[in-house]
Amino acid sequence: MVEEYWPGCGDPGRRCKPKVELTYDKMYTVTSRLTFTVSKEDDGVPVSCIIDHPAVKDFQAQKYLEVQYKPEVKILVEFPPGLTREGENLELTCQAKGKPQPQRVNWVKVDDDVPSHAVITGGDLYIENLNKSYNGTYRCVASNTVGESFDDYILYVYDAPSTTPIPTTATTTTTTTITTTTISFLEANPAGSCFQ
């Protein structure tokens, strides 16, 4: 008797369908099919089919899954590290990872055009001398043969730092010292007194 099984075949979402055929020379062909839904986390995971038969002691066939998936996109702010202010520069990097590797990475501004002097190199977007007219949503779009994905960055340009000096307050402290001197006079021998 031939027994075949897929490890994990009874797990939720997995179906196993064995099929046995008798050939013309009284040989048996056993075919089994495993069906389940994969995700990108399954890429590179081994799947095994194990045959249990006296003639072939625990024969095992193994294949590694190759799962293709659309890009995952993430925008990183390279500069500035804090608030974006007028007159500063902006540098964004678009990271796109997928299988197969994304062929196209594009930058667009939602509901408007990317500023004409912006420099786009591959996944990098560079805008110098920011002003408030550049406010809006900048989108990085990446695609491969499986599909398309995007990530958004909302730019809000704040006022340039104020150059007005910060007023300082001077504190004057006056210290008054009062010195009191008391002088006492004592008569040692009053006039007209006589002692014997």
The string of DSSP codes covering 93-141 is: EEEEEEESPPSEEEEEETTBPPPTT-EEETTEEEE-S--GGG-EEEEEE
- CATH 2.60.40.10-classified regions of the chain: 69-155
Given this model, what pLDDT does residue 168 score? 53
Torsion, CA 75, CA 79, CA 84, CA 85, rounded to 10: -150
69-155 architecture in CATH? Sandwich (2.60)
Taking residue 41's Cβ as centre, other Cβ atoms within 10 Å add up to: 9
How many Å apart are CA 142 and CA 152, to the nearest integer?
A: 12
Given this model, what pLDDT does residue 48 score? 87
Average pLDDT across each block of 10 residues of the chain; the chain has 196 residues. List them in order. 56 67 74 87 90 78 94 96 94 98 96 95 96 97 98 96 60 51 48 46
How many Å apart are CA 106 and CA 86, to the nearest integer?
A: 25
| CA-to-CA dists, residue 21 to 29, 48, 107, angstroms | 5, 22, 57
Given this model, what pLDDT does residue 30 score? 77
Given this model, what pLDDT does residue 130 score? 96
Given this model, what pLDDT does residue 193 score? 46
